[in-house]
Each structure stands twice: as structure tokens, then as C-alpha cells.
A and B are shown apart, each in its own frame.
Chain A
Amino acid sequence: MEAFDYIEMKVPAKAEYIGVMRLTLSGIANRMSFSYDAIEDLKVAISEAVTNAVEHAYGENESGEITVGFGLYEDRIEIMVADRGGSFNLEEVKSETGPYRSDEPVEKIREGGFGLFLIEALMDEVKINNKYGVMVIMTKYNREEEVDMDDDQVSTIQ
């Protein structure tokens, strides 16, 4: 299995923690040498996913948690945002997700208006799993780490 570092955080499902997740991701992505623009994209994407969980996962008188997981790979970051408090196994969850389709499970998320649209525009891959509450899994590649995409040498990477 591909080696990666994994960081997981749980925060109360409250709007005041959206900025906290944004700052956390900014720190992690900076550590991974993502570019300034890529970090700004990541900040918007995670805020959209956490906002969606805050606004739609729990009823008004219900308190809950949001679990955010960061998978730090050599060439990319994977971010998971889940709106049920339970901890999750990265590989297990990944094996149960399909490519994002514009039909059913997204229904819930569409209420956020432009939220999911922005996530898709700013990230390289987005998957939605709604088996245990709604979970968004999104990936962004660190272009800085790659050989110039137009360069023929790109084929030697893997």
C-alpha cells in the first residue's frame, strides 16, 4: 500500500469551527509545499464541505460532530469531511465510494448552492459517500512536485 501520513480531527458541527479547519488545512498544505494558489483553492474547498456538514447534517436542536481526515501522500492531499462523529477507516471508506454523479446522493449537498460546484472546480477529484451520513472525499495533486506536464519526462514518474 502506498505510504501516507494521516491526520484526523473532530470539531463540533458549528460554523465558528469552519475557519479553524481552513487554518489547519492551510498549515498542512503549506508543509506539503503546495503553491499559494493551490492552498487558497484547498481553503475554499474544505470550507464548502464543512459548511455543508454544519448546515445540513444536524437538526437545529441537535448537536453533532464533524470528522475531517487528511491523507498526506507524496504527490497529493486527500481530504475527507464526514458529518457523523464516528471515526473511519480510510481504505474501507475509499473502497465504497464511486465517482461523483449528478443524481441522488448529491441532492442534500446541492442545498448549499454553489458549494459543491466550487469543490469540484477547485479540486482534482471529488467523491461523495452517503452510507454513514454524508462524506465528501476530495483530492488535490501537488503540481509543484511533478515534472512539467508538457515535458516528455513526465512518463518516468511512475
Chain B
Amino acid sequence: MTEGVIMNLSVRINEDSNLKVLEVSGEIDAYTAPELKESLMPLVKESGKQIEVDLEDVQYMDSTGLGVFVSALKASKESGSHFTLKNVQERVCRIFEITGLSEIIDIKAAIRGGNE
């Protein structure tokens, strides 16, 4: 398990043999996106892996976050990995929907009202 924390975002990777879960918490904007990208890209570049990004604790994301996930999607297609986003909060989901990216990225929304 590796952990990196910068002011408004933290990223934690849980590794199983073929499934890797990247847990992200905080706000994703131009300041924090480089950290997310640095953690995510090496995972999606490995071939034949299943990568899940858990966004349950991300309440805010803007277009810089979209940019990171678009890059990850492209890389995963090249490496033959499968990349999904899970527990995506309503507000974050809306950003994917408005831009049409929800059509090309595998997204599972958070259950309304949380997962308690």
C-alpha cells in the first residue's frame, strides 16, 4: 500500500493480484490533479489489469479531473487494462454527464444518500 497526501487530495492504492483500487479523497482541481495523474497513470499502463478508482470521498472535481481520466482511459485501452470509476458522487457525476464523458468512461454512481 502506498499513500501520498498533498493539501487537498489524498490517494491510496490497494493492490490485489489483478485488481487495483485507487481510493481518492479530497478535491480534484488544477492544483491536485497532477498528484492524481502520477498515481493513476502507472496503474493503467500495466497490461491486463483491472483498475478501479473509488471517488466516494471526492465531492468536487472540475475539467482538470476530466483530463486525467481521459488520459487514463486512453492508456488503459492501449495496455488492455480495464478502468472504471466507482462511488461517483452526484455532483461529480454531473460533470461527466454534461461533457458527454459518461458515455465513454465506465462509471458507477454512488448510491444516493451514501453507502452507510
Chain A residues in the interface with B (C-beta under 8 A): 15-16, 18-19, 22, 40, 43-44, 47-48, 51, 54-55, 112-115, 117-118, 121-122
The listed residue (B7, B60, B66, B91) touching A113 by CB distance below 8 A is B66
A12 CB, min distance to chain B CBs, angstroms: 12
Is B54 interfacial (CB-CB < 8 Å)?
Answer: no
Instruction: Contact check, B98 vs A121: say whether CB atoms are below 8 A apart.
Output: yes
Chain B residues in the interface with A (C-beta under 8 A): 7-8, 27, 29-31, 60, 62-64, 66-67, 91, 95, 98-99
The listed residue (A15, A19, A40, A112) touching B63 by CB distance below 8 A is A112
**B99: nearest residue on chain A (CB-CB)?**
A114
Interface CB pairs A-B, < 8 A, 11: A15-B30, A19-B8, A19-B27, A47-B29, A51-B29, A54-B30, A113-B63, A113-B67, A117-B63, A117-B99, A122-B98
Instruction: Contact check, A16 vs B63: say whether CB atoms are below 8 A apart.
Output: no
Beyond the given pairs A19-B8, A117-B99, 11 more chain A to chain B contacts, judged by CB atoms under 8 angstroms and listed by A's residue number, are A18-B31, A19-B27, A44-B60, A47-B30, A51-B29, A51-B30, A51-B63, A51-B64, A113-B66, A118-B95, A118-B98
B6 CB, min distance to chain A CBs, angstroms: 10
The listed residue (A43, A44, A55) touching B30 by CB distance below 8 A is A55
Q: Within the assembled complex, what's the spacing in Å between the Cα atoms of A44 and B8?
A: 16
**B64: nearest residue on chain A (CB-CB)?**
A51
B95 CB, min distance to chain A CBs, angstroms: 7
**A112: nearest residue on chain B (CB-CB)?**
B63
Measured between beta carbons, the chain B residues less than 8 angstroms from A47 are 29-30, 62
**Most A C-beta atoms less than 10 A away, residue of B27, B31, B62, B66:** B62
Q: Within the assembled complex, what's the spacing in Å between the Cα atoms of A22 and B99?
A: 21
Q: Within the assembled complex, what's the spacing in Å between the Cα atoms of A40 and B62?
A: 11
Measured between beta carbons, the chain A residues less than 8 angstroms from B31 are 15-16, 18-19
Measured between beta carbons, the chain B residues less than 8 angstroms from A122 are 98
Interface pairs A-B: 4 shortest CB-CB = A15-B31, A114-B63, A51-B30, A15-B30
B58 CB, min distance to chain A CBs, angstroms: 13
A8 CB, min distance to chain B CBs, angstroms: 22
